[in-house]
């Protein structure tokens, strides 16, 4: 594993039932294929779905692409996540702002709190744009999310392989 490759990555969306659990499994599979040993988890900035399984539509679309997310359980981001993970990737700019506010509120003498970034920051196809929330959308929205997640996860992995 290269020095710039994080040892742990947390993927974050609002409720942790659509985008981030899908990203968790996609990232886990792509990292394994690339031979990277990275701790990968997901969480939400909101507590509205804590304890819930991923949205059934997310499960169905993920499964159709070879990803199994039905055993994941939603949880909310905690202050400890900023100590336990090297990199926290937000699915959209609002999640990133919420994460930055949490990080700013951590009174800590440690300088090595997690770095924050947008999930698509390294992706030349999506160039730092938000991964849209499919929750109120249709099948096409869930398919678009998987396409974006696969692309951006691969872009992060490629960037780590290049350093």
The catalytic position among 13, 18, 28, 130 is 13
pTM here is 0.96
Q: Which domains does the chain have, with CATH numbers?
A: 8-161 (3.40.50.2300)
Q: What angle do CA 22, 28, 34 make, to 5 degrees?
A: 135
pLDDT, tens digit, 9 for 90 and up, residues 111-154: 789 999 999 999 999 999 999 999 999 999 999 999 999 999 99
CA–CA separation, 161 and 59 (whole Å): 30
Distance CA 144, CA 45 (A): 22
The per-residue pLDDT for range 90-110, each reduced to its tens digit, is 999 999 999 999 999 988 666
pLDDT value of residue 110: 63
Q: Among this protein's residues, is 163 annotated catalytic?
A: no
Annotated catalytic residue, options 19, 55, 98, 148: 19
13 is catalytic: yes
Q: Tell me: the pLDDT tens digits for 15-55? A: 999 999 999 999 999 999 999 999 999 999 999 999 999 99
């Amino acid at each position: 594993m290269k020095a710039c490759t994080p040892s742990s990555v947390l993927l974050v969306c609002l409720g942790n039932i659509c985008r981030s659990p899908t990203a968790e499994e996609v990232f886990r599979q792509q990292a394994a294929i690339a031979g990277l040993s990275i701790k990968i988890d997901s969480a939400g900035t909101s507590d509205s779905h804590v304890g819930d399984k991923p949205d059934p539509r997310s499960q169905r679309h993920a499964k159709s692409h070879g990803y199994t997310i039905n055993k994941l359980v939603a949880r909310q981001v905690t202050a400890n996540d900023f100590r336990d993970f090297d990199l926290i990737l937000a699915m959209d700019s609002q999640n990133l702002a919420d994460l930055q506010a949490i990080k700013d509120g951590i009174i800590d003498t440690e300088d090595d709190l997690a770095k924050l970034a947008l999930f698509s920051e390294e992706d030349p196809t999506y160039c730092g744009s938000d991964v849209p929330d499919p929750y109120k959308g249709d099948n096409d929205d869930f398919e678009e999310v998987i396409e974006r997640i696969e692309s951006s996860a691969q872009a992060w992995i490629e960037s780590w392989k290049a350093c």
